[in-house]
Structure 1
Amino acid sequence: MIRAVHAARLDRLFVAHTQSALGTGAGYVVLLLVVYQRFDSAWALSAILLAGFLPSMLFGPLLGAAVDRWPRRRCAIAADLIRATAFVGIGVIDSFAAMAAFAMLAGAGESLFRPAILAGIADSVSDDEGELAPVTSLYTAIEDLGITLGPAVAGVALLFIDPVGVLLLNGLTFGVSALLLVGVDLDRHRSKHHRELGRPTLLAATGESFRALRGLTRVNAVIVASSLALGFAAMINVAEVLLAKETLGAGDSGYSALVAVYGIGIVIGAALVSRVRLGGEMRILLGGILLFGLATIGSGLAAVLGVALITFTLAGAGEGLEGVSGRLILQRDVPGDLQGRVFAVKETAGSWGFGLAFAGGGALASLLDPGQVFLIAGFGAILVALATAIVLRRRAPREVAEVAG
């Protein structure tokens, strides 16, 4: 994977990504601490978290159109500067309205950054030489590693500085990332074609992305299946603390261990996709969702912590397999001048799935045993994988006939 990154001349991108991913993981943990310290309210926590999702939920495709309109490096740098400003603002201004506004600003930066980078990787890396899968896999694994190690990084940082200081350091990591990205070419094979394109308005360009999706069966399958799978993952996020403490009697340490091994599983799953060959992505995506579903059922049935640690690791691996393979399908199937918008549509659908399932998971957790919530999520994921496979199998002969006709 490292060799592929070097061959694609993306070393600076991955240095920037690694340090900002660790900062983001730590910043997320500390943000919750700061909000609770300032307002002592679970509602405030929920509102700030929701504010971070709102830009993707409401304006994701529009931000994706900006990625397809302007140079991707410029969009990525702007996104980093936006996120740096947001986290510094959250750290120094303690009013609830300001924190919510800055959380939305951070979410907007994230919604601009990820499509720019993923589309830029697809444009900069040679898929013919087998570099796209390992580069995308490594990018995703680092992203997930930041989330996994975030609590540990935050814990070490809090030994020396206060929570606000950690937020300011997170803002600094985005500033460093912006500086490093100045030397990264994310439009290597796009510039000449891009100059020849017309200039529709951003709203018109956003509409084009939805029209283009009508003929992209695999891409639509990825967007729907991944969003539903993410929703089921969000559902168990709500119930896992109850499973650890009430069902397994494992306490805070057991809960922390389950969260840690799930994250490790995601990183392992993401790394395993580095060798996927062209044409095998959909099987891996569906297999990942199926593995997540089966392992989640196993978690719901687990009676001891040791078994749950294994099933949580496997569920995380399934999520990692699904995440990278879905990105590869979009990178390979979507025309380059549409990738920013289509990646943004996927992010928007995932944000809605996560938000709705998070709320629904809370309701279920209050009505059912934690294990039952896991069983519902697991069987739901299996149904998603099977239904997607059936739809694709039925659709494939029809598309072949249409091409032949």
Structure 2
Amino acid sequence: MNLLRRNRDFRRLYAAAVVDGFGSWLLVFAAPLHVFAVTGSAASTGLALAVQALPAVLLTPWAGVALDRWPRTRIVVVANLASALGVGLMLAPGGVFGGLFVESAAGCFLRPALRALTPTVVPDDGDLATANALTSFTDGAFRMLGPPLGTALVVAGWFPAVVLADLASYLVAAALVVRLRAGRGAAARAGTRVRVRDGLRALARTPLLRGLAVASCLYWTANAALTALLFPFAADRLGASGRVIGWLIAALGVGYLVGSALSRLIILRYATRTVLTAGYALVGLCFVVAFTATSVPRALVAIGLSGVPGAITQIATVHRLQLSAPDAILGRIAAAFHLTDALASVTGALLAPALVAAAGLAPALLTASLTVVAAGPLAAALLPFARPRDRVG
């Protein structure tokens, strides 16, 4: 909290993330649940998740160029306004898929911009770890509160109210960030060419960044598959209503709160390779227990426990990325990571229904959970040792 008191720019950036995060978590599972309620199809749910990720595959490399060429604060403001426009489209008949596409397209600029802007606002390594932990802690709180409320509103027939709340959150976030003092200058020097391939080359040639990207891609592919199967899992395996989806995500949010509170101590004490190897494996083992469950209490406890290492690995990855990439190409590196996450989301969302069709729901859930476990040994094999405060480049 001391960081919030003494750093005005971070206070505004954090406030924008708070408002934006609540609206986003309110809608993130409400939209797929709305699609599932209308269609009754796991394939349609997977399609909704794929539509959310597809724009990143197409736009993220160019978003990275924009982040290193133009003022990042301005990009955050415009992206928030564009996201509000996309969310508004969901109010039109049949507009959910189109709205998801537009909102996700704006997110291609918004998410990497926030990652790249944070080190500018909080330049000290220790404060940066605190900022990342605090942001993740708040995100964990919204994981706990937003999905149960959003899914409950959808079940009650109030999907438009969820949409309006998310739309308003983007507008408020834009208003907060527009007054930010830091990050107004373009990152690139005048006359310097900013090219997509420079960021990709830096990512490919830096063993630490390359290892982070590959291990993270496998981890999020399996996570996306499990997310796509979460609705049929609750209905078919647990025999529960759509409200249980909110409870499961709320349990995950509780775990994220705990993990976020512990993350600063862990990521400043242990090497990133150690944190990710142990964290990925522990998340996967929790998923094995959760997705082989046939009772709601067992699934809730296991999902909640998975959130602790899940939050720590996520914060450790972002923190290491911010330390390891030079500011001149940080936008393109952050965008490249956003691209790998998007490719993982598309792959996982489309792979999940295929796994169910080929082997059945239970084997598909177990396969995806074991794949998360496998991300741990992969991180150990690919990541070089780096002390917590080492900077690369």
| Same fold at TM > 0.5 | yes
Distance 1:215 1:265, change over 3 A: same
User: How many Å apart are 1:307 and its aligned residue?
Assistant: 3.4
Contact 1:262 1:315 in 2 (8 A): yes
User: How many Å apart are 1:41 and its aligned residue?
Assistant: 7.2
Residue range with higher mean Cα deviation, 71-80 or 244-253: 244-253
Is structure 2 residue 285 aligned with structure 1 residue 288?
no
Provide, for residues 120-139 of structure 1, a one-character-per-residue CA deviation record: whole Å limited to 9, x for no partner: 111221334x1111101222
Distance 1:49 1:390, change over 3 A: closer
State the match for 1:85 in structure 2: 85
State the match for 2:101 in structure 1: 104
State the match for 2:332 in structure 1: 341
Distance 1:368 1:315, change over 3 A: farther
User: How many Å apart are 1:26 and its aligned residue?
Assistant: 1.8
3-state SS in 1 of match to 2:90: helix
State the match for 1:222 in structure 2: 212
Rg comparison, structure with higher value: 1
Provide, for residues 142-169 of structure 1, a one-character-per-residue CA deviation record: whole Å limited to 9, x for no partner: 3343344223333676799943243233
User: How many Å apart are 1:372 and its aligned residue?
Assistant: 3.1
CA–CA distance in structure 2, aligned partners of residues 370 and 33 of structure 1: 18
Superposed CA RMSD in Å reads 3.1
State the match for 2:312 in structure 1: 321
State the match for 1:258 in structure 2: 248
| Residue type at the aligned position of 2:3 | A
3-state SS in 2 of match to 1:214: helix
User: How many Å apart are 1:228 and its aligned residue?
Assistant: 0.8
Q: TM-score, normalising length from structure 1?
A: 0.83
User: How many Å apart are 1:271 and its aligned residue?
Assistant: 3.3
Distance 1:5 1:61, change over 3 A: farther
Provide, for residues 281-337 of structure 1, a one-character-per-residue CA deviation record: whole Å limited to 9, x for no partner: 332222210111222223345465443333222222222222111101100000011
CA–CA distance in structure 1, aligned partners of residues 103 and 231 of structure 2: 27
CA–CA distance in structure 2, aligned partners of residues 135 and 206 of structure 1: 28
- Of the candidates 212, 221, 230, which is equivalent to residue 202 of structure 2? 212
CA–CA distance in structure 1, aligned partners of residues 249 and 112 of structure 2: 27
CA–CA distance in structure 2, aligned partners of residues 133 and 368 of structure 1: 43
Q: Percent identical across equivalent pairs?
A: 23
User: How many Å apart are 1:215 and its aligned residue?
Assistant: 2.6
Contact 2:46 2:353 in 1 (8 A): no
State the match for 1:400 in structure 2: none
Is structure 2 residue 7 aligned with structure 1 residue 5?
no
Distance 1:162 1:235, change over 3 A: closer
Distance 1:369 1:317, change over 3 A: farther
Contact 1:228 1:350 in 2 (8 A): no
Count of aligned pairs between the two proteins: 384
State the match for 1:24 in structure 2: 24
3-state SS in 2 of match to 1:131: helix
Residue range with higher mean Cα deviation, 240-249 or 132-141: 240-249
Structure 1: unaligned runs, 5 residues or longer: 397-402
Is structure 2 residue 116 aligned with structure 1 residue 126?
no
3-state SS in 2 of match to 1:187: coil
Contact 1:67 1:341 in 2 (8 A): yes
State the match for 1:117 in structure 2: 114
Provide, for residues 10-52 of structure 1, a one-character-per-residue CA deviation record: whole Å limited to 9, x for no partner: 1122222112211112233443466578x75747655554332
CA–CA distance in structure 2, aligned partners of residues 45 and 249 of structure 1: 18
Contact 2:150 2:162 in 1 (8 A): yes
Structure 2: unaligned runs, 5 residues or longer: 387-392
> Equivalences for 1:17-96 in 2 at 5 Å?
17-32=17-32, 40=39, 42=41, 46-91=46-91, 93-96=92-95
Distance 1:195 1:305, change over 3 A: closer
CA–CA distance in structure 2, aligned partners of residues 279 and 28 of structure 1: 33
Provide, for residues 357-379 of structure 1, a one-character-per-residue CA deviation record: whole Å limited to 9, x for no partner: 12222222344454433432333
User: How many Å apart are 1:388 and its aligned residue?
Assistant: 2.4
> Equivalences for 1:297-316 in 2 at 5 Å?
297-302=288-293, 304-316=295-307
Distance 1:260 1:45, change over 3 A: same
Distance 1:95 1:153, change over 3 A: closer
Q: TM-score, normalising length from structure 2?
A: 0.85
CA–CA distance in structure 2, aligned partners of residues 148 and 227 of structure 1: 25
| Residue type at the aligned position of 2:93 | D
Distance 1:338 1:271, change over 3 A: farther
State the match for 1:163 in structure 2: 159
Contact 1:290 1:385 in 2 (8 A): yes
State the match for 2:389 in structure 1: none
